[in-house]
């Protein structure tokens, strides 16, 4: 964060169009393949919502060889201060780093590489006013987390390593930032007390996937298929933008995965 600007203040983003191969994207449980047209429609609505929130969206072309490449948040991190090229824990996604590197080097003066041998994916990284939280998971190991801490320090950012609940793909599968003082989280993650310095809002039972919401400037984007969470956030005074995520949800994705977002300028 720069100055007193909120960590959810963005004016630029990178997205990547889905390839036809997206229907074979990675997933922990097989609930059926998404449809290409369905994923494309969800991304179209997502891009419209980002632009409506005041974000300039740079769109990258599809990568047929990488089914999961639409989820640009995993191979890289971006901040006002610079970008970090990560090392995905899923071997099939390793090549995405080299593919997104040119776009980041075009946008950022400072682009760091996460050193080997560790692994880290952006889905495990939550940026907050109190520092960057790095969740250990099956995709982000301790070596990768420590290497990432070193990269973040070079950008002038503080961080801490936390645990992701067992059986949860990514740390941000179960949480998101609502505002400078408040986290939206699942009960299983909140009870681990990793958010001891935040207020927590717990998603309703049965709507755990809604925890991967996305705060962008004045709005909170939430999966449209989670009415209980939408009602809860509306009652708390948040300006909620429901977005369909049923297709990307079939390949273990949520709203934060589909873009890299940052605030330009010093």
252 burial via Cβ count (<10 Å: 0-12, 13-18, 19+) = buried
pLDDT digits (tens, 9 = 90+) for 71-125: 999 999 999 999 999 999 999 999 999 999 999 999 999 999 999 999 999 999 9
Q: What is the pLDDT of residue 141?
A: 97
Q: How many domains does the chain have?
A: 1
Give a yes or no: residue 79 inside a domain.
yes
Active site annotation includes 170: yes
Residue 1's pLDDT band (boundaries 50, 70, 90)? very low
Q: Is the model's pLDDT at 30 over the cut of 70?
A: yes
Give a yes or no: residue 6 inside a domain.
no
Domain, as residue range, for 29: 12-262
Residue 165's pLDDT band (boundaries 50, 70, 90)? confident
Place of tokens 């990560």: 86
Tokens representing 138?
């099956």
Q: What is the pLDDT of residue 265?
A: 77
CATH of the domain at 68: 3.75.10.10
Give a yes or no: residue 5 inside a domain.
no
| Catalytic residue from among 58, 151, 170, 175 | 170
Residue 145 CB coordination number (10 Å): 22
Sheet holding 159-163, edge to edge: 125-128, 131-136, 159-163
Give a yes or no: residue 3 inside a domain.
no
Give a yes or no: residue 28 inside a domain.
yes
- pTM to 2 decimals? 0.95
Query: Region 55-68: what's the mean pLDDT?
Result: 98
Q: What is the pLDDT of residue 104?
A: 98
Q: Is the model's pLDDT at 239 over the cut of 60?
A: yes
Query: Region 8-28: what's the mean pLDDT?
Result: 96
Give a yes or no: residue 30 inside a domain.
yes
Give a yes or no: residue 136 inside a domain.
yes
| Catalytic residue from among 58, 151, 175, 257 | 257
Residue 4's pLDDT band (boundaries 50, 70, 90)? low
Give a yes or no: residue 1 inside a domain.
no
Q: What is the pLDDT of residue 145?
A: 98
């Amino acid at each position: 964060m720069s100055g007193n600007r909120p960590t959810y203040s963005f004016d630029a983003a990178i997205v990547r169009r889905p390839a036809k191969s997206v229907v074979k994207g990675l997933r922990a449980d097989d609930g059926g393949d998404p449809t290409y047209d369905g994923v494309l429609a969800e991304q179209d609505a997502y891009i419209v919502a980002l632009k409506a929130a005041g974000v300039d969206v740079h769109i990258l072309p599809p990568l047929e060889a990488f089914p999961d490449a639409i989820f640009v948040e995993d191979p890289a991190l971006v901040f006002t201060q610079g970008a970090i090229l990560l090392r995905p824990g899923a071997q099939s996604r390793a090549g995405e780093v080299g593919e997104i590197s040119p776009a980041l080097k075009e946008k950022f003066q400072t682009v760091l590489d996460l050193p080997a041998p560790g692994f880290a994916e952006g889905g495990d990284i939550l940026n907050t006013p109190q520092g960057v939280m790095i969740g250990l998971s099956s995709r982000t190991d301790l070596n990768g987390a420590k290497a990432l801490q070193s990269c973040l320090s070079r950008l002038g950012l503080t961080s801490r390593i936390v645990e992701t609940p067992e059986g949860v793909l990514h740390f941000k599968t179960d949480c998101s930032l609502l505002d400078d003082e408040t986290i939206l989280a699942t009960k299983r993650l909140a009870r681990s007390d990793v958010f001891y310095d935040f207020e927590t809002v717990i998603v309703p039972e049965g709507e755990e996937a809604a925890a991967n919401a996305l705060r962008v400037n004045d709005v909170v984007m939430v999966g449209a298929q989670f009415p209980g969470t939408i009602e809860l956030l509306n009652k708390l005074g948040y300006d909620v933008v429901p977005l369909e995520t049923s297709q990307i949800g079939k390949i273990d994705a949520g709203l934060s995965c589909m873009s890299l977002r940052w605030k330009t300028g010093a």
